[in-house]
């Protein structure tokens, strides 16, 4: 199956980020903790190379805890602070303010030497569509946030949200998304539901997902669908159909319905905490 995903105009988005990045001190980059590499903004390292960086591993409650720790350490080795969060529940958000102060320490000290006191850190939140950017902003800001209006020299329409005395967010539309040459990136985005299921052949997607799970998380499959082990992906779908009573007329297992159920079980976390990427191992 060929995976393609173009939910917008790449050139326009990149130009917007180039303009906006001049206004900020910090880039807060949201990635999906299950696929931290494939869900990253492709140009963020180049465009943000002179800015402080903070990566938030969102939906970390759905990812393998050991992989979360490995990715946090991997980003740290790259000189990028990373935190595990769940934007929907608010888990991990309390640590962000301290992390902002840590990664922006040089900027804060430079301001102090210049006699600029109590100037808030200005941050941009970056992330591909469906990674949870809006949920994060709403959850992190809460009801106490206030829009401070257009600042001098800022393009009309851009708004600053003051979260507290020490931090402001630049409220802009979604900034970047991946245009991928590597089909495995598209496959992983499809696994987690970041691509429109209507353009996906769900039976094939589920087969690919099951093959990965059989390699890395066989016990989770066996427990969920009462498997003995050693089944082919199609046999796993048949077992899932049997378990969930998915039958066609005549009593045959409905593999298409079973494919959707298996995929939904993974996406929702009902299968367990699963990561699709590990530092240094390449793609699934």
133 is in an annotated binding site: yes
154 is in an annotated binding site: no
Nearest by Cα to 125 from 80, 175, 67, 84: 175
State yes or no: pLDDT of 176 exceeds 60. no
How confident is residue 172, by pLDDT bands cut at 50, 70 and 90? low
186 is in an annotated binding site: no
Nearest by Cα to 215 from 236, 185, 194: 236
pTM for the complete prediction? 0.88
Integer-rounded Cα Rg, in Å, for the chain is 21
Separation CA 85–CA 137 (nearest Å): 13
Question: How far is C-alpha 262 from the chain's CA centre?
Answer: 21
State yes or no: pLDDT of 219 exceeds 70. yes
48 is in an annotated binding site: no
Rounded to the nearest integer, the mean pLDDT of the chain is 85
Taken in order of first residue, the domains within the chain and their CATH numbers are 10-171 (3.40.50.300), 201-268 (1.10.1580.10)
- The residues, any chain, with a CB within 8 Å of residue 65's CB and separated by 6 or more, are 273
pLDDT at 157: 52
- H or E segment at 125? strand 121-126
130 is in an annotated binding site: yes
pLDDT digits (tens, 9 = 90+) for 221-277: 999 999 999 999 999 999 999 999 999 988 899 999 999 999 999 999 999 999 999
- H or E segment at 171? strand 167-171
Q: What are phi and psi of 173, to 5 degrees?
A: -65, 170
pLDDT digits (tens, 9 = 90+) for 86-99: 999 999 999 999 99
256 is in an annotated binding site: no
- H or E segment at 263? helix 255-268
105 is in an annotated binding site: no
Q: Could you give the 3-state DSSP secondary structure of residue 237?
A: helix
Nearest by Cα to 236 from 217, 214, 251, 216: 214
Give Cα separations from 109 to 47, 101, 114 (angstroms). 24, 10, 9
58 is in an annotated binding site: yes
State yes or no: pLDDT of 53 exceeds 80. yes
272 is in an annotated binding site: no
pLDDT at 221: 95
């Amino acid at each position: 199956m060929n995976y393609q995903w173009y939910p917008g105009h790449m050139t326009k988005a990149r130009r917007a980020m180039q303009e906006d990045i001049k206004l900020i001190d910090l880039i807060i980059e949201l990635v999906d903790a299950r696929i931290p590499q494939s869900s990253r903004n492709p140009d963020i390292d180049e465009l943000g190379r002179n800015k402080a960086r903070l990566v938030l591993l969102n939906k970390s409650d759905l990812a393998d805890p050991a992989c979360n720790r490995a990715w946090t350490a991997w980003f740290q080795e790259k000189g990028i602070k990373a935190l595990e969060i769940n934007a929907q529940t608010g888990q991990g958000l309390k640590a962000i303010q301290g992390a902002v102060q840590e990664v922006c320490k040089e900027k804060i000290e430079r301001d102090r030497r210049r006699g600029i006191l109590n100037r808030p850190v200005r941050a941009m939140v970056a992330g591909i569509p469906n990674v949870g950017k809006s949920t994060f902003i709403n959850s992190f800001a809460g009801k106490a946030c206030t829009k401070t209006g257009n600042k001098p020299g800022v393009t009309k329409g851009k708004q600053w949200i003051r979260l507290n005395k020490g931090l402001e967010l630049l409220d802009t539309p979604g900034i970047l998304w991946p245009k991928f040459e590597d089909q495995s990136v598209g496959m992983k985005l499809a696994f987690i539901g970041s691509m429109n299921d209507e353009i996906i052949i769900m039976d094939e997607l589920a087969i690919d997902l099951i093959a990965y799970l059989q390699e890395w998380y066989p016990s989770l499959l066996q427990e969920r669908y009462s498997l003995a082990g050693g089944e082919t992906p199609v046999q796993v779908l048949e077992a899932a159909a049997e378990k969930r009573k998915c039958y066609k007329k005549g009593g045959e297992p409905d593999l298409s319905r079973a494919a959707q159920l298996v995929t939904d079980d993974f996406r929702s976390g009902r299968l367990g905490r699963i990561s699709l990427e590990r530092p240094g191992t390449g793609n699934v």
